[in-house]
Amino acid sequence: MIRLRLYRRPPAHPRQTWWTSLMALALLLLALACPEPAMARGLFQPQTFTLANGLQVVVVTDRRVPVVSHMVWYKVGAADDPEGHSGIAHLLEHLMFKGTPTVPPGEFSRNVSRNGGEENAFTSYDYTAYYQDIARSRLELVMRMEADRMHNLTLTEKQVVPERQVVLEERSQRTDNDPAAILDEEMQATKFLNHPYRRPVIGWQKEIAALQTADVLRFYRRWYAPNNAVLVVTGDIDAAELRPLAERTYGLNKKTEVPVRRQLVEPDQRAERQVELADPRVRQPEWSRSFRAPSYIWGDSQRAYALQVLADILGGGATSRLYRSLVVEQALAVSASSWYDPSRRGPSEVAIAASPRPGVDLGRLGAAAAAIVGEMAGSGPTEDEVARAKQRMIAEAVFARDSIGTAARILGQGVAIGQSLDDIEAWPERIGAVTRDQVAEAAKLVLTGPAVTSLLLSAGGAPQSAEERPPAPSPASLGGAIR
């Protein structure tokens, strides 16, 4: 619920400073002391209204500082890329900074910077988002510019060709020169037979290179419309103050016909799959395994809350089963973790990962990790494990409530994939209601059967020849960076 996944899974061994560790402890103690009030108040207590053109507006008021976070979420992402045009949603994200008849190329970013703000954008499988964090007094400025490019983007061949090259260099740097990213890409293509999640968000190299200006404009006009977007504003403003601003900026854009988003059926996985990569550039080997799972929107979605608790018990920290056994007790790994992201329109996964200590074989590490997972699938968690996991997660929700940027991201992501605000607000209550039996049942359902994909990343293999090696990237703005 709290995590926002864009390009890749969370790292197997996140670093924490002493300050974040202290904050996490303080929040955990708060949740332990008073979990019920934290759940009873809901998560963010948003207000919402819809403009005549279909734009949904969500507002979370936080008066502590005169600052707002302004985010526009389009209900379109890489999963909506047409066949043969992978990467087009992400390329359009880059090109949205190229200007309109009234805002020349680069002026959007310069205006935000001149007024003391920060901005960025990102593309995922299920949505594309643009945001600015700025002083409350400058909110109308960014609303006017964002509403303008929602409808009036202009593109020329001279703009598209160099930006397309920027994306190709981004792919070279982030994927082709990173063995772990290469393996992730191969894993996605292996996990899915029919679903568009099998394609990388950034796109395949040859298809990116073939994207034309007309392709991008067609995609833009097809999906970028007020009735296919959600505006989320959090900070020093309420709905009564925001509505007139929204009406005189976004309200000027006309509602257009938007196609129904396709939801492809992914066939049942009938055989376990394994992907291996040996590369001399690998500094830290890794073993990981993913199990297909429902999401908030796809499959047996009522199990999403129990699965979140399950993932926390398996690998949510230094006291989790995986870390305690593999890192502390057996001394087989330097890190161990698990994760589960239910915020998808399509299939999700429960995944576990571990990196071996020097001299430990990946096969031995994988067998030990699989044994822990098998034990969980067989006997389930203890009552104490479930209680402590729920308390940790509620503490994380308290922390999320304290950040206007995090609030905007969680609400926008949820609505963009099809959740209601009531669903999002009820998250602490639903996590708090999860029982040990529900976690055990979800573990047995997800962690057994053939819907499993294993990954092995190791150092080795012959160095690539000059012809095979990807070109070294030149300096360029990366995905999500300001252009």
CA distance 313 to 45: 29
Q: How crowded is residue 217: how many other Cβ atoms within 10 Å of its Cβ?
A: 16
Question: Bridge-partner residues for 339, per DSSP?
Answer: 351
Provide the sign of the torsion angle of the four alpha carbons 288, 293, 297, 298, taken in this order: positive
Q: How crowded is residue 64: how many other Cβ atoms within 10 Å of its Cβ?
A: 9
Provide the sign of the torsion angle of the four alpha carbons 264, 2, 419, 201, taken in this order: negative
| Spatial CB neighbours of 309, under 8 Å, sequence gap ≥ 6 | 386, 389, 390, 393, 431, 434, 439
How many Cα neighbours within 13 Å face the side chain of 331?
A: 2
Question: Bridge-partner residues for 458, per DSSP?
Answer: 278
Active-site choice (36, 83, 93, 157): 93
Active site residue 93: yes
In this structure, what is the dihedral angle of CA atoms 316, 320, 322, 327, given to the nearest 10 degrees? Answer: 110
* Residue with token string 């994207």: 211
Smallest Cα–Cα separation from 45: which of 407, 440, 353? 407
CA distance 83 to 88: 10
CA distance 300 to 347: 10
SS3 (DSSP) at 436: helix
User: What are the catalytic residues?
Assistant: 93
